Amino acid sequence: MTRSGRFDAAAVARAAGAALHHGPGTRDRFKCAVCDSREVRPGALFVGLRGARHDGGAFAPAALAAGAWGVLVEPQHSPACVERAAPDQVVLVSPDPLRALQRLAASWRQHLGARVVGITGSTGKTSTKDILAALLRAAGVTVHASPENLNTEIGLPLSVLAAPPGSEVLVLEMAMRGEGQIAELVAIARPQVGAIVNIGPVHLELLGSVERIARAKAELIGGLEPGATAVVPVAEPLLAPYLRDDLETLTFGPGGDVQQVGLRDGSLELQLPFGVLSLPVAFDEPHQLSNTLCAVACALALGVLPRGRVEPEFSRLRGQTVTLDGGVRVILDCYNANPMSMRAALDNLARRPGGRRLAVLGKMAELGPRAPELHREIGRYARDAGVDVLVCVGEEAREYAVGFAGEAHLCETPEEAGRLLRNLAQPEDVVLLKASRSVGLERAIEG
């Protein structure tokens, strides 16, 4: 252990269950872990993970040359790394670098002694994480939150290891792409508060039904230790079978422990179990206000009463508005998309003042056999929400136009949609860009 409170080389090796092949690593001190050699910076431990196309360990010598604090690699990469390492750099070796990374993160979390909030849900979990971090900071709590969406079996450990000494609360987002994955994340993070923002038809291609999605999300509840707190939507029947008598349960939404009773002069009026709270907020989108209810319930579970203005720094491409030349406003909400988030985004578009409302929509991924039907439903929803012009980007997105039955345009790529927008959009128009991440829909307005 160093005076800074950070692990030294020997402590990192012990925590990770790795062998120390070169050290002791007196260069600065260990501060974080990275899995991309291009992200190496002073204090970074580069972890060489084997992927579908590349063996990250092959990049470890380059990471050392770039100034990494050290590297964690499989045994076959050790000789090249030891040869390249400077006297003050570290080479750690494990037959399973991912497992070693996870063990190291679990140990660092325990060393910090910080309380942990784990957040999952079908949609809105990243924004809820951002709002909760802002709530806690406004109340004077030292918070470390998952950056962007570091929420997988790789990303969550990286986020934990980036938490500095003195962190009082870790707010960690937890993604789910299949059964057993959230349970794996819970075992690393060991949260005292577990929040499920909502349950919806996401990842149907992988799990097949909303019921199985709920069961996978509920692994967060199942992994909580007795006495912890589960934060869930009020009267959600899909989660009812997984609630536990040995946990505290806080609910949010109409009729719940935390519910909205009004929005007045930029302040969200909340009914709490012990009274009314007026909370100034820097946003008014209905879906973000709903996410705020969940975030407030998490804060209460930590014993923190929110106070001060809530001004979250929302993660990139999650609803921020940019104004283009000519006064056209574009809502960039194209980090991800599913039927729930698509409806929320269209509702947000419908309530925006201005000229016409244009929706540029790409596909919603991972919906399985129901994908065409669900895309057509969103097309009908866009029509009913008052969208004036629909632009469908990509083959699967053509189904939106079938349900829309209004002025619709079909484009193959985001770039083609961007060229079309330059001709379609008029001053004061409001444009929504919404699609799953794989579409890269933000390219429609790049440059």
Q: What kind of fold does domain 9-96 have according to CATH?
A: 3.40.1390
Domain 320-445: CATH architecture, name and number where available: Alpha-Beta Complex (3.90)
Specify the pLDDT at position 315.
77
Cα–Cα distance, 23 to 85 (Å, whole number): 9
Cα–Cα distance, 90 to 9 (Å, whole number): 7
Domain 113-302: CATH architecture, name and number where available: 3-Layer(aba) Sandwich (3.40)
Of 150 and 389, more confident: 389
**Percentage helix, strand, coil for the chain under 3-state DSSP, each rounded to 5:** 35, 20, 40
Q: In degrees rounded to 5, what are phi and psi of residue 90? A: -115, 140
Q: Which two tokens stand for residue 421?
A: 């927008």
Question: Is the pLDDT reported for residue 258 higher than 50?
Answer: yes
Q: Which of 57-66, 152-161, 319-328, 388-397 is least confident? A: 319-328
Instruction: Summarize pLDDT for 161-211 with one digit per residue, the tens.
Output: 999 999 999 999 999 878 999 999 999 999 999 999 999 887 776 777 889
Instruction: Summarize pLDDT for 399-429 with one digit per residue, the tens.
Output: 999 999 889 999 999 999 999 999 999 999 9
Q: Which of 91-95, 150-154, 182-186, 223-227 is least confident? A: 150-154
Measured CA to CA in angstroms, residue 211 lies from 31, 177, 196, 384, 440 at distances of: 41, 14, 14, 28, 30
Annotated binding residue 122: yes
Question: Is the pLDDT reported for residue 5 higher than 90?
Answer: no
Q: Considering the chain, what is the average pLDDT of its residues?
A: 93
Q: In degrees rounded to 5, what are phi and psi of residue 175? A: -90, 160
C-alpha torsion angle, residues 141, 144, 149, 152 (rounded to 10) = -120
Annotated binding residue 403: no
Annotated binding residue 123: yes
Indicate the burial class of 357 (C-beta count within 10 angstroms; 0-12, 13-18, 19 or more).
Answer: buried
Question: Is the pLDDT reported for residue 66 higher than 50?
Answer: yes
Is 315 in contact with 335 (CB distance < 8 Å)? yes
Is 104 in contact with 12 (CB distance < 8 Å)? yes
Stated as kind and residue range, the H or E segment containing 417 is helix 414-424
Specify the pLDDT at position 431.
96
Confidence band of 98 (pLDDT split at 50, 70, 90): very high
Specify the pLDDT at position 14.
95
Q: What is the mean pLDDT of residues 382-393?
A: 96
Cα–Cα distance, 64 to 46 (Å, whole number): 8
Specify the pLDDT at position 290.
94
Specify the pLDDT at position 188.
97
Number of residues in the chain: 447
Annotated binding residue 125: yes
Confidence band of 51 (pLDDT split at 50, 70, 90): confident
Specify the pLDDT at position 178.
84
Annotated binding residue 113: no
Domain locations in the chain as residue ranges: 9-96, 113-302, 320-445
Stated as kind and residue range, the H or E segment containing 161 is helix 155-161
Cα–Cα distance, 443 to 418 (Å, whole number): 8
Specify the pLDDT at position 164.
94
Q: Which two tokens stand for residue 318?
A: 């999650």
Cα–Cα distance, 173 to 181 (Å, whole number): 13
Instruction: Summarize pLDDT for 354-369 with one digit per residue, the tens.
Output: 899 999 999 998 898 9
Question: Is the pLDDT reported for residue 3 higher than 50?
Answer: no
Specify the pLDDT at position 2.
54
